[in-house]
């Protein structure tokens, strides 16, 4: 049985921007998605956050339908990536995880989504997840 793995936003940002330091490792994680059905997941929040960050890096806005469509297509082509819906429960329970693990709101939402979906590890270079009950790898 495959272990369930949650991918943090930074993996997609590093991959899409071909980050000089982290681009290759991010690409290696993204390539694993299509080779391992039912193992990799992320939140719908990740798609939104990726759109915000990429738009900012490109000097564009979220009114740029072409950019948003392109990003959505990129995510939809990752056939084996499970996109977890963002729920009000994840948002409302996040402050509990913020306090318990000293996380910011965004990280607590991602952690909550990972835990709700039985992820045992999170792929991220964000060391704040080291304090959480999931194993952080990068």
DSSP reduced 3-state for 15:
helix
Q: What is the pLDDT of residue 2?
A: 64
Number of Cα atoms under 13 Å in the Cβ half of residue 29: 26
What is the predicted pLDDT for the residue at 105? 97
The stretches of 1-138 forming alpha helices (DSSP H) are: 9-16, 23-35, 44-57, 65-76, 88-101, 105-116
Q: Which residue has the higher pLDDT, 55 or 1?
A: 55
Measure the CA–CA gap between 74 and 76, rounded to whole angstroms: 6
5-137: CATH topology = Rossmann fold (3.40.50)
Over the stretch 50-83, which tens digit does the pLDDT of each residue have? 999 999 999 999 999 999 999 999 999 998 999 9
pLDDT > 70: percent of the chain: 99
Q: What residue segments make up the domains of the chain, in order of their start? A: 5-137
Asked if 89 and 117 touch (Cβ cutoff 8 Å), the reply is no
Q: Is 43:7 a contact under the CB 8 Å cutoff?
A: no
Q: How far apart are CA 83 and CA 48, in angstroms?
A: 12
Structure tokens at 41: 């997941």
């Amino acid at each position: 049985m495959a272990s369930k793995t949650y991918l943090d936003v930074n993996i997609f940002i590093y991959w899409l921007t071909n980050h000089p330091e982290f681009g290759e490792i991010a690409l290696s994680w993204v390539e694993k998605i299509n080779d391992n059905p039912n193992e990799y997941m992320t939140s719908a929040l990740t798609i939104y956050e990726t759109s915000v960050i990429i738009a900012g890096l490109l000097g564009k806005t979220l009114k740029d339908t072409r950019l948003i469509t392109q990003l959505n297509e990129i995510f939809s082509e990752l056939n084996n990536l499970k996109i977890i819906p963002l729920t009000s429960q994840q948002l409302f329970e996040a402050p509990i995880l913020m306090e318990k693990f000293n996380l910011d709101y965004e990280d607590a939402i991602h952690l909550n989504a990972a835990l709700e979906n039985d992820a045992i590890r999170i792929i991220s270079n964000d060391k704040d997840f080291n304090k959480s009950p999931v194993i952080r790898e990068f």
